[in-house]
Amino acid sequence: MTAEIIPASAGEAVTAAAPGSRADRLVSYARRADGSDESFPLIVIRGATDGPTVALTAGIHGDEYEGPAALWKLAEAIDPARLRGTLRLVPIANPRAFAAGTRTSPVDNENLARIFPGDPAGTLSHRLAYALMHSVVESADILIDSHSGGVRLAFLPVAGFYEGGDIAPEVSARSLRIARQMGLDHLWLLPPVTGVLSHEAARRGIAVCGAEIGGRGNCLREDADNYLGAYLSVLAHNGMIDAAHKRVETTSCLEGDWEQAPDAGYLETLVVLGDRVRAGQPVAVLHDSLGRTVREFRAASDGIVMAVRHLNSVGPADLATCVVKETTR
């Protein structure tokens, strides 16, 4: 299918598809000096009957591939004639970072996951954030933003939601409901980080799930398939596709954040993903360039290893360990 480039400012991209059809677009969000366009891919699938609008984004970080692979599979799996509502899929939200295979943009070094809602007069990444928020996400009912551990990390399958802070209680409740409907291994109470797409969307009243699966710089088929099953489950739970796609809702909830490396060095990890560890158990050791122990990381409490470092070299403030507590929702 040949995609055409259309300007995001026109706001036409998201209404491009006629009822019961799919439209593929490259949405322009900036113009280069030579007159060519910077664009991101958008697949709109409009059901034959009205229903919720769901935005699904992936590839906000350019070295995460599970989400993009799953969104392409989703686009193939959905029959527009039998869909109720509309899907807006952005499989590669950060094309420049994707092309470079990097987490951040090689153009302006911005982390796209920290600058939403963006700025139409800012750097390339700020303009991209603005276009994604205003042309795709802001007018949706539900947002699922799919991430992974990228090159550096590996993550358990977790469906993140927000609660409290500046997120309205009613929006928090809807965010938890969507996360549960994903049917992944665990829920994850997301830290409220300013500039993250899902957080800024929740502040605007959208029911959001920010998810993580896998990483290690590649994409396992089982991880992409897990995401696909999660998307189909949410669509089924919300009456948009056949109820047979519903997964059992997740009740296990992980709460906690990661521990950062105090300095650069070589990180030796002593546990594997999903390990259940006891308080005080050694989980990683940071070495300097002479091999000396700089820091030994121990679990602060009993918990589960939600993420591990895959790339052994670390910089200051990089994730070193991630042992979180398990509760039930």
Q: What residue is closest to Zn ion based on CB?
A: 147
Closer residue to Zn ion, CB minimum distance, 147 or 186: 147
Quick check: 88 and 44 in contact, CB under 8 A?
Answer: yes
91 token code pair: 């499989």
Closer residue to Zn ion, CB minimum distance, 46 or 161: 161
CA distances from 248 to 35, 158, 244, 252 (A): 50, 14, 11, 12
Closer residue to Zn ion, CB minimum distance, 67 or 265: 67
- Considering only residues 181-240, where is the footprint of Zn ion by CB under 5 A? none
List, in order, residues 6 or more apart from 76 with CB less than 8 Å away: none
Closer residue to Zn ion, CB minimum distance, 41 or 149: 149
Interface characters, 95-134, with Zn ion (x: CB under 5 A): ----------------------------------------
Minimum Å gap between C-beta 23 and Zn ion is 27
Distance (Å, rounded) from C-alpha 219 to C-alpha 186? 20
- Tokens 């105090």 locate to 262
- Tokens 């491009």 locate to 16
Interface characters, 54-73, with Zn ion (x: CB under 5 A): -------x--x---------
Closer residue to Zn ion, CB minimum distance, 61 or 310: 61
CA distances from 256 to 62, 150, 202 (A): 25, 20, 20
Segment interacting with Zn ion (CB under 5 A) among 87-95, 141-149, 182-190, 193-201: 141-149
Give the DSSP letter of residue 46: E
Closer residue to Zn ion, CB minimum distance, 200 or 286: 200
Contact with Zn ion (CB under 5 A) among 147, 216, 237, 309: 147
The number of residues making up the chain comes to 329
Minimum Å gap between C-beta 300 and Zn ion is 24
Helix pair angle (221-237, 66-77), 10° resolution = 50
Binding site for Zn ion (CB under 5 A): 61, 64, 147
